[in-house]
Amino acid sequence: MKRLLVSFALAFSAAAAFAQVADRDVVVTPGGTIYTLEAQTPPPTTSMDASQTLALTVRNGDDVSLLYVPESMSSGYHFGGVLAYDSDSNTLFVLWLHSNDGYSSELLLASYHGGKWQPAVSIDTEPYLSRSNLRLGITRRVSQLQSDGSYADVPALLLHAVWWQDSGKTEEARYALLTIEKGALTSIEPHSLEEFVTATDDAYNKVDPTFNKELLRHPAIVSSPMQSAVDVIFGDTRSNTIHGVTLHPIADVRIHIPVGNTGGGGNGPKPRSLAAPPTFNADWKGPITVIERSDRLVFANAGETSLSYITYANGAWTSVKSIAIDARFPAEAALAAIDKMLSTQ
């Protein structure tokens, strides 16, 4: 089993990572506007059909406004929403889950620009599947095939969505490459993330009978400083493995992820793997945050009174450690402290 090559050239956005401790997400624009998305029960004074809707708070200095994502006002439960912001076009993207029966769900994507909402588009509507643990990344360049056979980065707005999917019989991490042109979604390329892992990286790893597989069900995605690739960290509950893979879209006939390590001029997926911590049995529930810094990888989960975390460093997993949290020192602050610790070691 190869060890995870934690040489990711990706800087994890602290604001995005730390917002994932509840059913809410937060982004801050370069101009200082703060967008906060939360799942809420509709107020009794409204006429919404939804049992649960998505509320977007927009804070710009002292000005605060509350908006509802239009399609989240329809029947059923709307939850798990995540945000991505494109500063070039001043567009906010919202990806979320919608379920009518609690057994299956669909993925919806909407955008907000210039004070107006664009209609939501279904990303994945295959029935009888439960989806959870969404993450949304954004890149602004793509490697385009040149006349001489080489590749050069050119502007392109791409969204990268990851989530966990469960059919009741099998479960896996999923990925979708979403191409945005002139503010509209023009193509969807879905994948099982296992497609990007080679057979030698997928060997079975033995774990204790009490191992909590929830650790493996929260894929994480971060954007590259180069703005042309993303790194994804995801788990495999069959092999008890944690994978990392670099996804570098290319544009030849269309924008897509090239196949194979040498595909697309060497821009093919680059996987790496390590065994999950075999004795991990902490009773983690809810969102799990992933932070990476240099050769260290952290998984963290917030409870009511403490934030617990486990670290992979120097080729080994540590035991689970905890930090007390309360109203004066919330989970976001504890995660920021962990991130600072990793950055200075």
- According to the model, what pLDDT value does residue 23 have? 78
Residue 293 pLDDT grade (very low, low, confident, very high; cuts 50, 70, 90): confident
Looking at the structure of the chain, the number of domains it has is 1
Residue 271 within a domain: yes
CB atoms inside a 10 Å sphere around CB 15:
13
Residue 39 within a domain: yes
Average pLDDT over residues 109-123: 95
Average pLDDT over residues 272-298: 90
Q: CATH number for the domain including 166?
A: 2.120.10
- According to the model, what pLDDT value does residue 234 have? 96
Residue 113 within a domain: yes
Q: Using DSSP, state whether 335 is helix, strand or coil.
A: helix
pLDDT tens digits along 306-317:
999 999 998 999
Average pLDDT over residues 204-218: 95
CB atoms inside a 10 Å sphere around CB 209:
5
Decide if pLDDT at 201 tops 70. no
Decide if pLDDT at 18 tops 60. no
Residue 9 within a domain: no
Radius of gyration of the chain (CA): 20
286: its two tokens = 């809810």
- According to the model, what pLDDT value does residue 147 have? 87
- According to the model, what pLDDT value does residue 260 have? 58
Of 26-30, 224-228, 286-290, the least confident: 224-228
Decide if pLDDT at 14 tops 80. no
Share of the chain above pLDDT 90, in %: 66
Amino acid making up residue 319: S
DSSP state of 257: P
Q: Which domain holds residue 137?
A: 14-344
Amino acid making up residue 52: Q
Residue 217 pLDDT grade (very low, low, confident, very high; cuts 50, 70, 90): very high
Average pLDDT over residues 129-148: 92
Residue 295 pLDDT grade (very low, low, confident, very high; cuts 50, 70, 90): confident
- According to the model, what pLDDT value does residue 16 have? 42
217: its two tokens = 């069900």
Q: Give Dmax over CA atoms of the chain in angstroms.
A: 63
Average pLDDT over residues 15-32: 71
- According to the model, what pLDDT value does residue 330 have? 92
Residue 7 within a domain: no
Residue 121 within a domain: yes
DSSP string for 26-53: EEE-TTS-EEEEEEEPPPTTS---EEEE
Residue 253 pLDDT grade (very low, low, confident, very high; cuts 50, 70, 90): confident
Average pLDDT over residues 49-60: 95
Average pLDDT, the chain: 87
Residue 236 within a domain: yes
pLDDT tens digits along 231-252:
899 999 999 999 989 899 999 8
Residue 6 within a domain: no
Residue 6 pLDDT grade (very low, low, confident, very high; cuts 50, 70, 90): very low
- Vertex 19, ends 13 and 25: CA angle to 5°? 100
